[in-house]
Structure 1
Amino acid sequence: MDKLNLLLITKDFSQWVHSEPFYLQSELSKISNLSVWNESGDILNILDEINFKPDFILIYLFKTGAPEITGLNTLNIPYGIYLEDLHHYPDKINEALKHENVKHIFTCYRDTFPQYYPEFCDKVQWLPHHVNTEIFKDYQKEKDIDILLMGATNSYYYPLRYKILLSYINKPNFVYHPHPGYKDISKDELNNVFVKERYAQEINRAKIFFTCNSIYKYTILKYFEVLACNTLLLAPSSDEILDLGLKPGIHFVEINENNFVEKAEYYLVHDKEREEISKNGFELAHKKHSTSQRAQQLIQMIHQILVKN
């Protein structure tokens, strides 16, 4: 099979607080003839300028972070879009999907998609989150943090995290690091915020890591990041999480607002069980949910689209 000529239209995420899109771009460059465009403009003008004939065009974070691209409905080349936080501007995006006659949509949140985009359920494919396993790995750090919570704890969006924070905030064996904010992180800031390797190493220090899937029931990136760092994840479950192969009691520990303290106390003292589940989760994340594997899956999806066309 010839390499796919792929045009990726995306913001430059190389210094972003979450570099998952940049890692995906890097993996795609290894398995396709990839051209990357970072600026807004008319798609036909862009194609003239780059002197590259793509087989497929992918717009990453359509209308919620991608460069603003016009003229898509004039294209003869197949194209698709990627959506992440589905609750962001659904009215605007629904209108744009219709106006641009979008036929191919990828999203990391399968089960929430019909709630916000019911008219496009026949056009969507599931592309779950993934981890760069060269960064999210077992650093063999001493497990000197009993319980760790990192990230946003807004009581509206993350009620379970907020309740966990209130329950543990004054406990000596609990560590909390707030979210550094959605922004580019300069080299000068890298030693002062938990991002990239420093973030992964901090996760790796913990025996137990709490998170939740928000009020939207998103299978957020932290599910994969924590597992990939060989740390026991305590978090809610869902049908989507089960379909990703994450089995409660095998790869992570399922919690709710009524039992998270009890579960944490149990696994803090039952070292063998904690370490076994952590190991299973680690192996699953590295085997099934690496960025390199997700890039391969995306290319396969695009090839299937092209065959049908």
Structure 2
Amino acid sequence: MAKISIRRRSSATTARRRRRRRPAGDGFSLGWQHGYWYGKCESVVQRSGVPFYTRDMHVLFITSGKGFPYSPLDEAVAQTLGLLASRLTVLTPKDDIVGTAARERPQLALVLDGLDFPVATIDALRGIGIRTAIWFTDDPYYTEVTANLAPHYDLVFTLERNCVPFYQERGCANVHYLPLGVHPADYRPRNPRMSVRGDICFIGSAYWNRVQLFEALLPRLSHRSFRLSGLWWDRLPDYARWRDRIDLGKWMGPAETAEQYNAHKIVINIHRAHDDSTFNRNLYNIPAVSPNPRTFEIAACGTLLMSDHRDDLALFYTPGVEIVTYESAQDMADKIDYYLAHEEERRQIALNGLHRTLRDHTYVSRLSQLLDLASYVPT
């Protein structure tokens, strides 16, 4: 039998060859770290789902009809209703809604937003015995308009708690507080491109309260990797200094927005001011105390949500455990420094927020509540 010779490599030679096979730079380390983190997020996703059931009912869903940026919300609500109702008909405000309803006889006609939807059509639906509901998506910023729309519906759903008594005072018998939520098919943990990763980002229009805050904040972030994206950010007094970190005039869809959230360690949320007459039609000056949809969308991506305070926020998340809140630009800057220096604490809060969001704040949860309330007929 021939003798087989085995040549053993030295440990130093083996180590050198392994180093040569490893990608250059720190890409291997970063890839491993993000893969580990992504796996932890997926573990939370898998154990956070909430069971739901399909109701034996026919829902006529009337979209906002406004196009982008409302169209992703239209699609999210329609897809979720398709899971929760045994039959779903989706129409736009321009379709033959009354004729379809008279022929198909849905148990509920649900209008989303409704600012561009004629109340004569709702009156006609009610006239043929169709139960109607509206879900206002921008309260309290357009109450000058919604005050006249709400009384035409059997049920009114509003994302702003302070608008519940406002509509009740205008004769609406069935008014319910129902914030928007998140569609996990759009907003969830993902593996973002290396080229877009950074420390901090904010995505949204430059309303004046946001301009004021970032004017004070940005000098504290000059040594950080940060990104702003949205309309009107050239209003910043020192815009020229920061322009290379701003995507001016960009309005991103859900996929690109979610990638930015996933790509950054901290994502900032700043609510609109209820009393900004430049943009709002809040003639009745109703204060806003409830969270915006961005709150849930950020948290659903498994990143640290850092939000300004709103009175109702603690009803949805525990500050310091599931999200982080701030009181001023100085307070936010200090907390950014802290959480970027304490990675494990930052990641644990992000995971807690992800779990809470998928458990309680998806459109499955919200629309399950809506359909159950709409199915109940008071005696």
1:1-309 correspondence to structure 2 within 5 Å: 3-12=56-65, 16=69, 19-32=72-85, 33-40=87-94, 44-48=98-102, 51-62=103-114, 64-66=115-117, 69-70=120-121, 71-72=123-124, 74-98=127-151, 100=152, 102-114=153-165, 118-120=169-171, 122-141=173-192, 144-155=197-208, 159-160=209-210, 162-168=212-218, 171-173=222-224, 174-179=226-231, 194-216=252-274, 217=288, 218-244=290-316, 246-257=317-328, 258-304=330-376, 306=377, 308=378
Structure 1 pair 118/93, CA: closer, same or farther in 2 (3 Å)?
same
Normalising by structure 2, what TM-score?
Answer: 0.67
The code of the aligned residue for 2:104 comes to F
In the aligned structure 1, how far is the partner of 2:211 from the partner of 2:171?
32
Runs (4+) off by over 6 Å:
none
The code of the aligned residue for 2:218 comes to Y
In the aligned structure 2, how far is the partner of 1:225 from the partner of 1:96?
28
In the aligned structure 2, how far is the partner of 1:117 from the partner of 1:164?
38
The code of the aligned residue for 1:247 comes to T
- What is the Cα deviation at residue 206 of structure 1? 0.7
Normalising by structure 1, what TM-score?
Answer: 0.81
Structure 1 pair 281/89, CA: closer, same or farther in 2 (3 Å)?
closer
Q: Is the 8 A contact 2:80 2:364 kept in 1?
A: yes
| 1:259 match: secondary structure | helix
Structure 1 pair 114/215, CA: closer, same or farther in 2 (3 Å)?
farther
Q: Which structure carries more helix by proportion?
A: 2
Tell me, which stretches of 5 or more residues in structure 2 are unaligned?
1-53, 233-249, 275-287
In the aligned structure 1, how far is the partner of 2:254 from the partner of 2:212?
24
Q: Once the two structures are superposed, what CA deviation does each residue of 1:96-150 show, in whole Å capped at 9, x if it has no partner?
A: 434x3x3310112223443576435752112221111122111144693111111
Give the structure with higher Rg (CA).
2
The code of the aligned residue for 2:370 comes to L
| Aligned residues: CA RMSD | 2.9
Q: How many corresponding residue pairs?
A: 287
- What is the Cα deviation at residue 287 of structure 1? 1.4
In the aligned structure 2, how far is the partner of 1:162 from the partner of 1:291?
33
- Percentage of pairs with the same residue: 21
Q: Once the two structures are superposed, what CA deviation does each residue of 1:36-55 show, in whole Å capped at 9, x if it has no partner?
A: 2213478644434xx20111
Match of 1:184 in 2: none
The code of the aligned residue for 1:229 comes to C
In the aligned structure 2, how far is the partner of 1:35 from the partner of 1:67?
19
| 1:132 match: secondary structure | coil
Tell me, which stretches of 5 or more residues in structure 1 are unaligned?
181-191
In the aligned structure 2, how far is the partner of 1:128 from the partner of 1:20?
13
